Structure 1
Amino acid sequence: MPEHTASVTELTSHYVNQVAGDLEQNVKQQERITAEITALQEQLATLQRDHTVLVNMQQALGIAASVGTPTAEPESPVVPSPRKKSAAEPAKRRTAKAATGEQSQTKKRSAKKTVAKPAAKPAAKKAPANTAQPTLVELVRGHLAEQREPRSAAEVAEALGQDHPDREIQTKVVRTTLENLVARNGAQRTKQGSSVFYTVPNSPESAAASEDQAEQAAAG
């Protein structure tokens, strides 16, 4: 009986640990998916605002085009002339009509140029700032420095992927970067069972001096 009771207790403890681990993994996945949904909602809101601006601009351009379109050319007052008029009179009327047509075309082109100017505002608004992005080595080391407990390569990659959704951060690349930092005293590695965890070193000065070398090795 005591052996049977001990076996049951050990089996129960095993299931309790397994359920706790599965629950923790489930919570992490929920947090990751929630962060992705939040990012997608922000992108959708941005696209909706841009759509509203573009629709308003399209309407404004259509109204401006109709206003800027020249109306029918005003007819010149007809002055009755004697029946025996010289043949040069019709030529003068044609010349005056051609000059009026050129003026109308000039006004039309000027109106198009005036309407086209507001279209440059969205491009200036969306122009990305020419700021240098941090390297992967800097991101990995900065994340470890903010943590109080050791983190695995998968946890670091997941956290950086949430903080920087515009960058494709892979767990394999993050693990290589961490190993390069460890090789150059830029990080410390600890092993718990079959899992490997990383932390920042106790000497920040020596780690900062080797950060450039780790970056070059990761790039190579």
Structure 2
Amino acid sequence: MRSSRDPVHDIRHAERVADFAEKIGRELNLDRKRLQALILAAWWHDVGRTVTRKPSLIFMVFLDDLISALMLWRETIRIGLFGSVTGMATRLIFCHSVGTGTFLTRLLLRPKTRLLLDALMDADKLDMLSTERLDKLLGLASRSTIYHFGYRILSWYNFSTVYFDVKTAAARRHLEKILVEFVTWLYSPEIKAWHIEQFGIVWSRRMHGRVLSVIQRFHIRMTFDPTI
């Protein structure tokens, strides 16, 4: 991951997702092997991003998990590391993929193991609101037409009510804390001004209306000016 050319899916992203995954896994009282598999999958789930020369917002969304799973599988064979932990981690990454994940989950995961996939997906989702990651994404959106468009679409989707329906109770507890940090960042004068400059006042007001609905849903106490 240190060789990733995608600053949004870099080693720090993998580190944060692995940290969230471990916290969620421990709160779910996973046994040692399942917890190890979950953490390993979190570290490797975006390794496929290292194969591209430039960040890809379109193709890698659908391919990165499949490539990452194959890379983990190849590496375990190369070093002769076999067993239930690496096998389970590889299957989790395959099933984490966009587009084919639902089919592969039915094919590769037993019902009891699907809790690990829920934990992995929740951990990845929590990092979408990392202010460290968002600062990097703003830089990309300022320099790239594709990322500018992608940021606009992803922002609209991420603040739908469906997005915040994480699957584990452990993730919901962490989500509330992360939302407070995110909302404080979003309503800072510099970030508000950036959104208005990039997307206009009308879009910004609509977007912040969605954010306010999330604030109300999670009963976040506002210590900032929520107006645009």
Q: TM-score, normalised by structure 1?
A: 0.26
Tell me which protein shows more strand as a share of its residues.
1
Q: Which has the higher contact order (CA 8 A, sep 6+)?
A: 2
Q: TM-score, normalised by structure 2?
A: 0.25
